[in-house]
Chain A
Amino acid sequence: MSITTYELNHLDQLESEAIHIFREVASEFERPCLMFSGGKDSILMLHLATKAFWPARLPFPVLHIDTGHNFPEVIEYRDQRIKELEARLVVASVQKSIDDGRVSEEKGPRASRNRLQTTTLLDSIEENKFDALFGGARRDEEKARAKERFYSFRDEFGQWDPKNQRPELWNLYNGRIRQGEHIRVFPISNWTELDVWQYIEREAIEIPSVYFAHEREVFRRDGMLLADSDFVTRSDDEELMTRKIRYRTVGDMSCTGAVESEAENLKQIIEEISSTRITERGATRADDRVSEAAMEDRKKEGYF
């Protein structure tokens, strides 16, 4: 930051914009919460929220939609951070939604709990009466997300109507909702993947070890490397091999792919991201490969 010229660099501007939104929601909503997956974007969100309210604690709880298919490293990280921040954690479990008969498990070798999360999330919103949910989605991730607002209105069914969004002007956000409706809030809308990594490096934010290159037993499916785990069923021609890999995104173990990488530290990750020619979701997300509009369709139903 250069004081004499009164200019802010891009990371300072992005940080300030996000902090402004965290504070605005905390002022205008009664029951916000921060959705946390353990991925780098939600870790960044937790860091920004901490900065927004320092020296006070977070004025809202952290919500984890737990598919039960987690990387153990990520759960360990989550519990550690929550303890450090003295924050309140709410866990909504997809397994419980299945046990309660709210959803049924997908069948077959490619079964994933990705889509089931939506029901668990919407049930949890209703149960806890959340009226604003912070999410770490970015507009550069995916073309449906490029049309998202900072404040994204959801009706009483949790649905997103992309053709009928509220115009968002200057930095004046319309937080008016009726009972039963809620908003999703995306404070890091304007960040790119590279911004996220540069900021993580600058702020020395700790992240789970799965983001750094390590050796792991993987197999190839649809051109992606998936980790072997109890949550996936391999077919006979999907052979296991040991590769040096890292994760660019971290989600459900059954549908998050790894990339082959030698990047063992943040500096090397930033170099790798700067020169890559594949988007992070394209490289690592089986859930986006269903169709051209896979993300839009899930979002309309109430997905993250």
Chain B
Amino acid sequence: MEFLRFATAGSVDDGKSTLIGRLLYDTKSIFQDQLESVEAASKQMGNEHTNLALLTDGLRAEREQGITIDVAYRYFATPKRKFIIADTPGHIQYTRNMVTGASTADLVLVLVDARHGVVEQSRRHAFLASLLRIPHLVVCVNKMDLIDYDEKAFNSVKEEFRNFAMKLDIPDLSFIPISALHGDNVVERSAKMPWYEGSSLLHHLEEVYIASDRNHIDARFPVQYVIRPQNEEHHDYRGYAGMITGGVFKPGDEVVVLPSGFTSTVASIDSYDGPISEAFGPMSVTMRLTSEIDISRGDMICRPNNQPTVSQDLQAMVCWMSESTELTPRMKLALKHTTRSSRVMVSEIQYRIDVNTLHRDEKPESLKLNEIGRVSLRSTQPLFFDDYRRNRNTGSFILMDEVTNATVAAGIIVGSG
């Protein structure tokens, strides 16, 4: 079976938790004891209906304050697909949480309240989805029951959203009118909206084509770990372990190792279950080469005629995630990119982007919590990278504070120099 990973984003009270509860409930992914405990908790809190949001808000503080604090992961399956939901809260730390949840997603689901139309947060969600190059965006226009399932209202939300999305890069955009509370168009097509001819949300999630979203062209193998058993049976074994992050590798392929630039040939691709004839992302494998060259963690194996950019200078869009510090020019940070760790210095903040209007503030003094901007970074060591647009794995990095060790930024590479 195939996986679909999707992130959900919504603003305050637009019914996101109810929708997720509905998806889990209607696909029979909620168990009886979970439902009973939610029913009991709802009663205790004085809710009239069973509050399906309590299924996802598990932490004590979340229940007490009636809000979602952190990204939560949920699982459900239909006979066609298995789903992982990254449920990102709209209240606190929305940008940080959504960037986190969407970083591993194939699809982003944005909720819009049909009564309020496209609000500031809807625009922000669409922008973040396009920044993170999520290939598929589904806009659920929720609470259709409260506007008498009105087609015109739905169409006007759709048009408004499209007008904004035109300025962004979203390859696949769909709209579905739903009522999460009553289940209209969530699992089954609703009889209350005969004018809507598209599929239900679940059907859409089951059918959306994601197989071509992964890069199978540019062969990239960041070396993660060197396996040297040093026992009798495997005396001279030296295997390079890691996850394929792009393209396809086969025994016999000519390869080049960065940063040394030495060339060699793939001798075999090994696994516990036996040799592999073709390795592709996201497989974790062990590669052996025909020649003995010095290779260690952080090196990159690729093809001689298709190499990533090698540079100490990079241009990136950065989302700042620290509450206690700000990103400023000349700042030094720890960086992790593929399996390579380095130190970087911020050479320049070129602009800060207003995620609501897409307006650029040139040369800001700093980037604060949840702000996004374009920066130039200088690394102590060369990095081997591709444009994020081309490869999400070799085009992304994180920045860490060297004193507190906190993860303070997510980075998306847009160029070198």
Contact = CB atoms under 8 A, between A and B. Distances in A.
Interface of A: 3, 5-10, 12-13, 15-17, 19-20, 23-24, 26-27, 50-57, 139-140, 142-144, 146-147, 162-163, 165-174, 176-178, 189-190, 192, 194, 276-279, 282-283, 292-293, 296-297
Nearest to A283: B33
12 contacts: A10-B1, A23-B224, A54-B272, A56-B237, A146-B72, A147-B73, A162-B69, A169-B99, A170-B398, A171-B104, A171-B393, A190-B84
| Interface hub of A50, A143, A173, A283 (most chain B Cβ within 10 A) | A143
Q: In the A-B complex, list the 7 residue pairs whose CB atoms are closest, starting with the nearest.
A: A143-B58, A282-B33, A176-B405, A56-B229, A19-B284, A51-B272, A54-B272
A165 B339 CA distance: 22
Given A146-B56, A173-B336, 17 more contacts: A10-B1, A10-B2, A16-B282, A24-B339, A55-B229, A55-B233, A56-B229, A56-B234, A56-B237, A146-B72, A166-B406, A170-B396, A171-B243, A192-B75, A277-B31, A292-B41, A296-B59
Given A5-B211, A51-B272, A167-B321, A27 B224 contact: yes
A279 B56 CA distance: 15
B225 A27 contact: yes
B262 interface: no
B303 interface: no
Given A53-B227, A146-B72, A170 B393 contact: yes
B371 interface: no
B155 interface: no
Contact of B100 (A54, A168, A174, A293): A168
B70 interface: yes
Contacts of A143: 55-59, 72
A107 B270 CA distance: 54
B405 to A, nearest CB: 4
Contacts of A189: 73
Contacts of A162: 59, 69-70
Interface in B191-242: 211, 214, 216, 224-225, 227-231, 233-234, 237, 239, 241-242
A169 B224 contact: no
A93 B20 CA distance: 42
A55 B2 contact: no
Contact of B58 (A52, A144, A171): A144
Given A13-B3, A20-B284, A51 B271 contact: yes
B25 to A, nearest CB: 12
A147 B277 contact: no
A293 B283 contact: no
Contact of B242 (A23, A170, A172, A283): A23
Measured as residues with beta carbon below 8 angstroms from the partner, the interface class of chain B is: 35 or more
B278 A3 contact: yes
B383 interface: no
A57 B228 CA distance: 10
A17 B70 contact: no
A222 to B, nearest CB: 12
B33 A169 contact: no
Contacts of A292: 37, 41, 60, 63
Contact of A56 (B71, B228, B280): B228
Interface in B377-402: 392-393, 396-398, 400
A55 B286 CA distance: 10
Contacts of A293: 58-60, 63
Contacts of A279: 31, 33-34
Contact of B398 (A55, A163, A172, A296): A172
B43 interface: no
B47 interface: no
| Interface hub of A24, A55, A194 (most chain B Cβ within 10 A) | A55
Contact of A167 (B72, B233, B284, B407): B407
Nearest to A174: B407
Contacts of B237: 55-56
Contacts of B96: 167
A148 B33 CA distance: 22
A200 to B, nearest CB: 15
Given A13-B3, A172-B397, A139 B99 contact: no
Contacts of A15: 284
A169 B214 contact: no
Nearest to B37: A292
B182 interface: no
Contacts of A55: 227, 229, 231, 233-234, 237, 239, 270
Given A147-B71, A174-B407, A16 B283 contact: yes
A5 B3 CA distance: 15
A10 B228 contact: no
